A = this chain, B = another copy of it.
Amino acid sequence: MSTQTKHTALFGFGTVGQGFYHYLAENNNDKQLATIVIKNASKSRIPDNLNFTTNVNDVFQNNQINTVVELISDYKEAFNIVKNALEQGKKVISSNKKMIAHHLEELVELEQQFGGKFLYEGAVAGSIPIIKIINEHYAFDEITEIRGILNGTSNYVLTQVFEKGIGYQEALHQAQQAGFAEANPAADVEGFDALYKLLILTTHAFGKFITPEKALNIGINNLKNSDINFAKANNLKIKLVASAKSHNNKLTLSVLPTFVDENDDLFHIKNEFNGVEVVSKNIGSQFFKGKGAGKLPTGHVVFSDYQNVEKTTYTYQHVPSGKRLKYETKESIWVYSNKITLLEKYLEDVVLLNGPQGYGSIKIADLIKAKDLLNLHQVSVIALSENVKQKLFLQLKHKIQLVYA
């Protein structure tokens, strides 16, 4: 189709939508834009002379339109738009991580059934082209682990808390002021946003479609000042780490506040940046860092998807081990909590430090069960990365030896 044809519809004109339009205009592709579907016609828009509409039928009853760029925030509406477009065999680009994490398997089926296309690099890790890297760069390797900081808002808050010594609530307020946190930041600080992104990466890296309700996400919203002080006293930081790992044909997943030390690449990811480590059989560890959000960084990868929509096709389950892998929540992990005793009935092992504060070993499945209880009592849970665990436990031994020697 000619570059002059008005074959593209854009849904949404918020931050990312405006970023996408910026590149469209800069590269003289704005003539391809038939219409921009918005919800609120009375809101003022910049530029204001574009072909705005509030009527979805302008898109779905127009045969000229073969490409849909979906950048709205409501995930249920987004699902309807993407589903309808794919059922019409259209090419669809989306960055709605919540919608994609909930419906990816179905949407990929629709893509294949009706011969359309579905790309969504903008949904994960902002400016880092991590889906492209996993699909293309790791096509001949086997990924064994992905772990990263995938939510800029919570990382911004944690950075402020650690570097400026302010409290969680104040840091969250500052993040909202700086435009790095939504008025309602629940999805970010409770770890849902990071989980959605992790699940999308899991599909590409491990060939598995896993829906959010089956996986563990604990956010930073229950962290205590005492946790921060404990971290600082041990030269650690707390980061919200999303992790997917395969081992002995088992796939484990989690989003958890995690103690990390300075040898960990994630330790050095500050403010609104994202960082992703990919570990594979042949290449070893690689690490990618970039801005996790923002008009131009995210708009850039959406536009890149748009420009390459003909020649890019995502691959799924190309992973050699994918078919053998079993999603598993019975694996145990060690966590720290300001009130580990609350988890008593789930713990396989426990080390008390001061009063209720301490370490415990617990199955991921049990942490999923205990989530409501933890939130109800506002109790913190922080995972120990492997080398941090060894360091903290070694310390403990020393103390015990000192006491009982």
A interface, CB within 8 angstroms of B: 23, 26-27, 127-129, 132-133, 136-137, 139-141, 265, 268, 282-291, 296-297, 300, 303-304, 307, 311
Contacts and interface: CB of A to CB of B under 8 A. Distances in A.
A285 B290 contact: yes
Contact of A290 (B139, B287, B289, B311): B287
A83 B183 CA distance: 61
Contacts of A296: 282-283
A140 B304 contact: yes
B303 A284 contact: no
23 contacts: A23-B140, A27-B140, A127-B283, A127-B284, A129-B136, A129-B137, A132-B136, A132-B137, A137-B304, A139-B304, A140-B303, A140-B307, A141-B300, A265-B268, A265-B289, A282-B297, A283-B290, A285-B290, A285-B291, A286-B288, A286-B291, A287-B289, A311-B311
A268 B285 CA distance: 14
A352 to B, nearest CB: 35
Contacts of A282: 296-297, 300
A344 to B, nearest CB: 39
A291 B287 contact: no
A282 B127 CA distance: 10
Contacts of A286: 127-128, 288-291
A297 B268 contact: no
A23 B140 CA distance: 8
Contacts of A133: 129
Contacts of A284: 127, 290-291, 297
Closest 10 A-B residue pairs measured CB to CB? Answer: A286-B290, A287-B289, A282-B296, A127-B283, A129-B137, A283-B297, A284-B291, A282-B300, A23-B140, A283-B300
Contacts of A290: 283-287
Contacts of A265: 268, 289
A268 B283 CA distance: 19
Contacts of A283: 127, 290-291, 296-297, 300
Given A283-B296, A283-B300, A286-B290, 9 more contacts: A127-B283, A127-B284, A139-B304, A140-B307, A265-B289, A284-B297, A286-B291, A287-B288, A288-B288
A149 to B, nearest CB: 13
A296 B268 CA distance: 28
Nearest to A141: B300
